[in-house]
Amino acid sequence: MTQIFDKLFPPEEYARRVSDVKRRMRAAGFDLILCQDPANMCWLTGFDGWSFYVPQCVLVHVDAAHPVWFGRAQDARSARITTDLPDGDIVPFSERLVHHPVEHPYDELAALIRDRGWGAARIGVEMDAHYYTARCHLHLLAGLSQASLANNGDLVNWARLVKSPAEVALMREAGAICTAAIARATEAMAPGVPQQQVIAAILQQLTMGVPGAGGDYAAIVPLMPVGEGTSTPHLTWSDRPLPSSALTMIEIAGVRRRYHAPLTRTFHLGPPPRALRDLAKVIVEGVDAGLDMARPGRTAEEVEAAWQAVLRRNGLSKDSRVGYSIGLAYPPDWGERTVSLRPGDRTALQEGMCFHIQSGLWLQDFGVAISESFVVGPSGGERLCDAPRDVIVVD
């Protein structure tokens, strides 16, 4: 029996997005853009498949009725299932080109662009997209000698910045999933428990989700530094047992239909030192100051400044950015590569923008992080998760 794929948004939502992107393209001077970021491909068309390990893209031309999906022949059926694109705008490349030592799928992409009469177009490519390789670019240049190619400045990423009410609803569901996973981690953690056992419990909860909202895979694996590893943010787990007295952090994201709500929490096995609790209180106070500042009309740098003001009052500072925009994402990153909460970013906040205020402080020997995902609301940042906001003590 055929099961109909549950498409995330109606066709008119994708049409609205494409129309907005075309407006941005005209303002930026592009006739055609090529979107290699799988999140941008999904946001524009609904396309969803684990196919980003080979060259693929979505093309948007200012005068074309629909975007064009271009990808591996084996994945063309995925495009037909997950999108409403007409068959003529689902264009597969030859299977023989997968990992070909000389030829490249973008040779056929260049031919497609020429065949559609766009060979002399002003083309914007996503030079910062993780899956747009140097080889992709070289083959496009060779095949489109009459065109002008330039970085499109993550044009579609910026179009994604303000979330629709339906997207915010998915972000809230992702937050509920993340909250449940933090609770499950707390239950699973104990002295002597192998670290991978805790991670297995987290992954099970993230996948099962919460009633009415199943979970999806995250763009980043769970991060779990232990002991001295907490002095740096991006370490994963090992198979070593948890000690009887130690500090650990967990950074995860709840994910609902590819929409991410990340969160970091700090745990201590056994009674935590007073200095650790005091630092955690400063971090939470700083986050609350940032959330209060995160109102429509305020700027990204003002949110960061509110956080830093709390740190300065307590003799602390943080050099790295304190947060970044979040939403729809695929591996290897759940950030949108647009707004950063840091000095110099004067982006005005709007209701519906979503951020991860990554409020960690990593010192010489240890670190503490109690972060929050939030959506900009009329009165400030509204937390998407509801996990304990202190050092979580594991007896």
Task: Note the pLDDT tens digit of each residue in 196-228.
Answer: 999 999 999 999 999 999 999 999 999 999 998
Quickly state the pLDDT bin for 363 (edges 50, 70, 90): confident
Task: Note the pLDDT tens digit of each residue in 258-316.
Answer: 999 999 999 999 999 999 999 999 999 999 999 999 999 999 999 999 999 999 999 99
Does 150 share its domain with 188? no
Per-residue pLDDT at 362: 85
- Does residue 247 sit within a domain? yes
Does 206 share its domain with 99? no
- Does residue 4 sit within a domain? no
Bridge partners (DSSP) of residue 33 are 60, 124
- Does residue 303 sit within a domain? yes
CATH number of the domain that 43 lies in? 3.40.350.10
Per-residue pLDDT at 383: 98
Task: Note the pLDDT tens digit of each residue in 45-65.
Answer: 999 999 999 999 999 999 999
Among residues 105, 125, 159, the one where a domain terminates is 159
Does 140 share its domain with 259? no
- Does residue 102 sit within a domain? yes
- Does residue 2 sit within a domain? no
- Does residue 189 sit within a domain? yes
Does 176 share its domain with 324? yes
Three-state DSSP string of the chain: CCCCCCCCCCHHHHHHHHHHHHHHHHHHCCCEEEECCHHHHHHHHCCCCCCCCCCCEEEEECCCCCCEEEEEHHHHHHHHHHCCCCHHHEEEECHHHCCCCCCCHHHHHHHHHHHCCCCCCEEEECCCCCCCCHHHHHHHHHHCCCCEEEECCCHHHHHCCECCHHHHHHHHHHHHHHHHHHHHHHHHCCCCCEHHHHHHHHHHHHHHCECCECCCCCCCCCECCEHHHHHCCCCCCCCCECCCCEEEEEEEEEEECCEEEEEEEEEEECCCCHHHHHHHHHHHHHHHHHHHHCCCCCEHHHHHHHHHHHHHHCCCCCCCCCEEEEEEEECCEEEEEEEEECCCCCCECCCCEEEEECCCEECCCCEECCCEEEEEECCEEEECCCCCCCCEEEC
Does 150 share its domain with 54? yes
Could you list the residue range(s) of the whole structural domain that residue 78 is in?
11-159
Per-residue pLDDT at 351: 98
Does 136 share its domain with 245? no
Q: Helices 38-45 and 11-28: crossing angle, nearest 10°? A: 120
Residue 1, pLDDT above cutoff 80: no
CATH number of the domain that 190 lies in? 3.90.230.10
Among residues 159, 181, 215, the one where a domain terminates is 159
Residue 2, pLDDT above cutoff 80: no
Does 175 share its domain with 240? yes
- Does residue 5 sit within a domain? no
- How many domains, in total, are found in the chain? 2
Per-residue pLDDT at 360: 86
Does 35 share its domain with 78? yes
Q: What mean pLDDT is reported for the chain?
A: 96
Does 189 share its domain with 76? no
Does 66 share its domain with 136? yes
Does 215 share its domain with 250? yes
Among residues 116, 139, 159, the one where a domain terminates is 159
Does 141 share its domain with 189? no
- Does residue 6 sit within a domain? no
Task: Note the pLDDT tens digit of each residue in 123-177.
Answer: 999 999 999 999 999 999 999 999 999 999 999 999 999 999 999 999 999 999 9
